[in-house]
Amino acid sequence: MKKNIIKRFLYSQKVAPYVFILPFILTFIIFFAYPMVSTVVMSFQKVSGGNSQFIGLHNYKTLWNPIFIKSLKNSAFYTIVTCALMIPIPLVLAAMLNSKFMKKKTLFRSVMFIPALTSVVVAGTIFRLMFGELEGSFMNQVIGSFGLDPIVWLRRPTTVWIALFLLCLWRWTGVNMMYFLSGLQQIPKELYESAEIDGANKIKVFRYITLPQIKPTTIYVLTISIFGGLAMFTESYILFNGNKSPNNVGTTVVGYLYRMGWEQNNIGLASAIGLVLLFIVMVVNVIQLIINGTFKKGEN
């Protein structure tokens, strides 16, 4: 009798939809909603082991210190430059790959995408060795071939950023290229044929047909690039072989969060940092989506 009741309950047309979405609801509650609420609560507390004490806005007042402001500037600078690099370069490569004159397309696509399959730990370690202080390091050998003296790459602000940007380009150019290639392949060929008949040159075709048609792809790539830039941590951590860089030149917001939460066991302050970062990411992305017209009615 009980089995029949349970069977009828599970096979009910009214109950079945809720059964199917139950795993998602449980996952959302356990891994997003509950941690989010806990983070908000802890940001107003002083958490010490299993004990917690409500301290109001103290964590948010303590948050605005010189190290956090510098880490925020570092993350913002990294995000701006990587977005400026990781959109036009992959787009040009994707356009080349989509061209009918391009040969060995499969080989080129595979070579460009392989770095994304490499662990960030392995990639960071390799770049740390490449930008080492010794004369025998790869980059010092490169500049040495031009008659320049060896450089302590990871102790100077300018050269540190060069290493981080090159690491980002090496790992993610292939991924963004694939996104743009997918968008380019969705453009109707009739548009290009009509432009060719009208006598439009390559620059005009790219400006008035290609760019408008891949706008949704560009917005998506820009959105994930902003999130990835502001959330960058592992690359800097591995490159400096720890969460400490000279004069905090490579400290990001997530790196400062890690320092406060795990290294100094200040969970309350770390929670406040995380919420401030979440707010910044949401505001920046909403602003750029509004500017790009994503929320306008009747526009795809």
What are the pLDDT digits (tens) for 137-163?
Answer: 889 998 888 888 888 888 888 889 999
Task: Report the pLDDT averaged over residues 69-89.
Answer: 93
**What is the reported pTM?**
0.86
Identify the residue whose tokens are 């790219």: 206
Phi, psi (rounded to 5 degrees) for 145: -65, -15
What is the structure's pLDDT at 168? Answer: 92
Mean pLDDT of 180-203: 84
Encoded tokens for 58: 């103290």
Answer whether residue 8 shows pLDDT above 90: no
**For the chain, what is the mean pLDDT?**
86
CATH code for residues 58-291:
1.10.3720.10
Report the chain's C-alpha Rg in angstroms.
25
* Residue 297 confidence class, pLDDT cut points 50, 70, 90: low
Percent pLDDT > 70 in the chain is 93
pLDDT tier at 203, thresholds 50, 70, 90: confident
Contact between 165 and 82 (Cβ < 8 Å) = yes
pLDDT exceeds 70 at position 7: no
Mean pLDDT within 101-124 = 86
Residue 10 has a pLDDT of: 62
- Assess whether pLDDT exceeds 60 at residue 1: no
Cα–Cα dist 248/158, whole Å: 13
Query: What pLDDT was estimated at residue 300?
Result: 46
- How far CA 121 is from CA of 24, 118, 143, 253, 291, in Å, comes to 31, 8, 26, 19, 36
CB 87 within 8 A of CB 147: no
Q: What is the pLDDT of residue 240?
A: 87
pLDDT of residue 82: 94
Q: What is the pLDDT of residue 133?
A: 83
